[in-house]
Amino acid sequence: MTERDDPTQLLSKAQRQAVRQLLRIAPVADELGARFEGAGHELALVGGSVRDALLDRLGHDLDFTTSARPEDTKRLLAGWADSVWDVGRAYGTIGGTKDGFHIEITTYRADSYEQESRKPAVAYGDSIADDLVRRDFTVNAMAVMLPGHEFVDPHQGLVDLGRQTIRTPGTPQQSFSDDPLRMMRAARFAAQLGFEVADEVVSAMGTMAERIDIVSAERVRDELSKMLLAADPRAGLTLLVDTGLAARVLPELPALRLEIDEHHRHKDVYEHSLTVLEQAIELEERLPGDGPDLVIRLAALLHDIGKPKTRRFETRGGVSFYHHDVVGAKLARKRLTALRYPTAVVNSVTELTRLHLRFHGYGSGEWTDSAVRRYVRDAGEELARLHVLTRADCTTRNRRKAQALQRSYDSLEERIERLAEEEELASIRPDLDGNQIMRILGIAPGPVVGRAYQHLLEVRLDRGGLDEDEARDELLKWWAEQPESAS
């Protein structure tokens, strides 16, 4: 019997964990609670902080709610916290740090969206009950009053935590009307926590999907990123697609569900893309840095989004997707830009999408030095991610074919490492610079210098490094064939 089958097992474990976590933060939380109590205000640890304490995953970010208005909160933090800021004051939030903890304190809220508004109307509540009923989900609608440690759980969040279920405090319709982004958040929690989303919540997500249109692109982007960086993105993405939300925020994803024609069999591109994402996650340890990599996860998910627009049924029964890498790169750039992703992220994902077939373009794996140099040059700073994406893109069930592809890519990486020891592959340049070109040819700056430079770069890629005399001879040979040389 699992903990989900018998929620009392998880509850008992969660309660013990919560006690341990609350004791850890008590020096800061209780002192802060006493400070607010002394000023005649209520203060409670709330939301994700209580949930994470019960799950034994509480970090150094602490969320509180209070009856105090923002100006009172700021005054009470002054002189006690190590630092204080009020950038969230318009939404009732004052932040600060204390003894290594990041603290955010928000006045009891009762927010809601107007029908066509992209921003919630901020309204303050009068009690902890008002605040909790407006929270997104029951597992986030629990509080611990401070400094007395009274546990407040009017919506059975602890029970839902034991059942590992995502449910709303009130009706899902009311919750999603208050903030439509909560529909995406439900999918994100499914991905992060491995919880099941209650049937009535899923149903409301489907019927209210169009409400997500009023939410700003930045907020949608942040939820999508958190979902992709979670432990099981597939769970959340599947829910978004099944409820119609993905069709509104990332329409390229459900578009990958190409119909299966019994006479034109081909891979299910949607399922393939989710599998590539999962395999890329397994290979992330190959990348520099710690933790999940948003760029490789976005690239894995989007690498084939050009296929629906390029699909062609061949006369002999096959299916082709010629140039889907180029088309997909354009689509990825357009979608990520619309979602307000940083330019660096957009550029990296676009390049990886454009290059994801490059490995297969070199045939059976018998790579020339020239091909290796070009591969490294084209990948540039994305070489490590391109290695991961290319490996993850193999989802064939044919074991022999999969092993052959793996051996071929192993061989390529070995070739890259060997050539890198001999040459500076990551920064390949022609053997002559612009000044040398102009001096040898006796020409002034202009387009011809650029063409000569590009020619020498192609020679460098094909033949490797040349000494100065060889490079000069190659330049003069090229120049003799140019119409400008005769003038």
Which 3-state string (H, E, C) describes 387-424?
A: HHHHHHCCCCCCHHHHHHHHHHHHHHHHHHHHHHHHCC
The answer to whether position 271 is within a domain reads no
Q: 475 and 344 in one domain? A: no
- The stretch 262-274 carries a mean pLDDT of 71
Evaluate the CA torsion angle 239, 245, 247, 252 in order and state its sign: negative
Do 351 and 471 lie in one domain? The reply is no
In the predicted structure, residue 427 carries a pLDDT above the cut 70: no
Has residue 45 been placed in a domain?
yes
Name the pLDDT band for 399 (thresholds 50, 70, 90).
confident
Longest dimension (CA), the chain: 92
Amino acid at 370: S
Specify the pLDDT at position 107.
95
The pLDDT assigned to 261 comes to 44
Which range among 238-242, 317-321, 477-481 shows the weakest confidence by mean pLDDT? 317-321
pLDDT at 263: 40
Q: How many domains does the chain have?
A: 3
Range of the domain at 33: 1-166
pLDDT of residue 123: 78
Element spanning 52, H or E: helix 48-54
- 375 and 472 share one domain: no
Strand partners, 63: 104
Phi, psi angles (nearest 5°) of residue 150 = -75, 125
Percent of the chain residues past pLDDT 90, beyond the cut: 56
Indicate whether 404 and 367 sit together in one domain. Answer: yes
Mean pLDDT over 186-192 rounds to 97
* Phi, psi dihedral angles at 284 (to 5 degrees): -60, -25
Higher pLDDT, 263 or 454: 454
- 36 and 112: one domain? yes
pTM attached to this predicted model: 0.81
Q: Would 216 be classed as within a structural domain?
A: no
The chain-wide mean pLDDT, for the chain, equals 87
Whole-angstrom CA distances from 249 to 188, 212, 418 are: 14, 8, 44
* Last residue of one domain, picked from the residues 402, 427, 452: 427
Pair (460, 395) in one structural domain: no
How many CB atoms are located within 10 Å of the residue 178 CB?
Answer: 22
